Every structure is written in structure tokens, then in C-alpha cells.
């Protein structure tokens, strides 16, 4: 389930005005909540604090867009490491991470539609 548009708007002030927001998902650590904002140029990790999941307070880290977010370990709860820190994510956002990583790997996000192949 995508994050509501209100959360997207709360994240916008922490991004450059001309960045295009592509993916947005929440992640958690022991005692802290984060939102990953993946744009056309950066991966911005926004810190939300311990008690709030959808109101960013500041930028925790800004990484180049070429940075891989995954892989995601889905043996128990989905977890991944990014920027040297471990995060937990809800099952529904694993596909978002995989899609963001697939784009930088040069893989097509979806296979071509067979109807349009000539």
C-alpha cells in the first residue's frame, strides 16, 4: 500500500525542488522510524523519530541514486542494510525496494508487452 499523499508532501521540503520523487517507503530500526525517499538523483533517508512514522524531522543521510538499497532478507521479518545500518520494513514495501534497485541495475522494470512486440 503506497504511503498517503500527505506523507509525500511532508517529505517534499527535505528534497531539492527539481528532484522527481519516484519511490517512498517507511523503514524502522530499534527505537527509530525512517522514510526512504528515492528520487531521480538521490536516496534521501528521512528521520521521523521514535514515536512518529509519517512526519519527517530531518535528513538522516543523502546517498547517490546509484546506491543499492537491498538486498532484502525475507527469512523472518524483511530486513536490509543501507548506509551501514540495518532496517526492518513491512512486507508490502519489499517490492518497492526491489523495483528501485532494478532501475539502477539497468534491468527493465517490467518485461515488454508481447502485444507490442514486432
Q: What is the pLDDT of residue 103?
A: 87
In a domain, 15, yes or no: yes
Can you tell me the mean pLDDT for 90-101?
93
Q: What is the pLDDT of residue 65?
A: 94
Q: What is the pLDDT of residue 107?
A: 54
In a domain, 96, yes or no: yes
C-alpha distances (whole Å) from 11 to each of 29, 36, 74, 114 are 19, 9, 27, 38
In a domain, 115, yes or no: no
Q: What is the pLDDT of residue 117?
A: 47
- Between CA 60 and CA 97 the distance in angstroms is 18
Q: Indicate if the pLDDT at residue 86 is higher than 70.
A: yes
Domain that holds residue 90: 5-105
Taking only the tens place, the pLDDT of each residue in 18-68 is 999 999 999 999 889 999 999 999 999 999 999 999 999 999 999 999 999
Q: Indicate if the pLDDT at residue 118 is higher than 90.
A: no
Number of structural domains in the chain: 1
In a domain, 62, yes or no: yes
- Between CA 4 and CA 20 the distance in angstroms is 17
In a domain, 114, yes or no: no
CATH number of the CATH domain containing 48: 2.30.29
In a domain, 31, yes or no: yes
In a domain, 99, yes or no: yes
Amino acid at each position: 500500500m503506497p504511503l498517503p499523499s500527505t506523507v509525500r508532501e511532508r517529505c517534499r521540503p527535505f528534497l531539492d525542488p527539481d528532484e522527481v520523487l519516484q519511490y517512498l517507503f517507511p523503514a524502522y530500526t530499534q527505537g527509530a522510524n525512517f522514510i526512504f525517499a528515492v528520487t531521480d538523483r538521490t536516496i534521501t533517508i528521512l528521520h521521523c523519530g521514535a514515536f512518529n512514522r509519517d512526519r519527517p524531522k530531518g535528513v538522516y543521510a543523502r546517498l547517490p541514486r546509484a546506491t543499492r538499497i537491498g538486498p532484502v532478507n525475507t527469512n523472518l521479518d524483511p530486513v536490509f542494510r543501507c548506509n551501514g545500518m540495518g532496517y526492518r520494513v513491512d512486507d508490502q514495501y519489499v517490492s518497492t525496494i526491489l523495483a528501485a534497485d532494478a532501475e539502477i541495475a539497468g534491468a527493465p522494470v517490467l518485461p515488454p508487452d508481447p502485444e507490442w512486440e514486432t
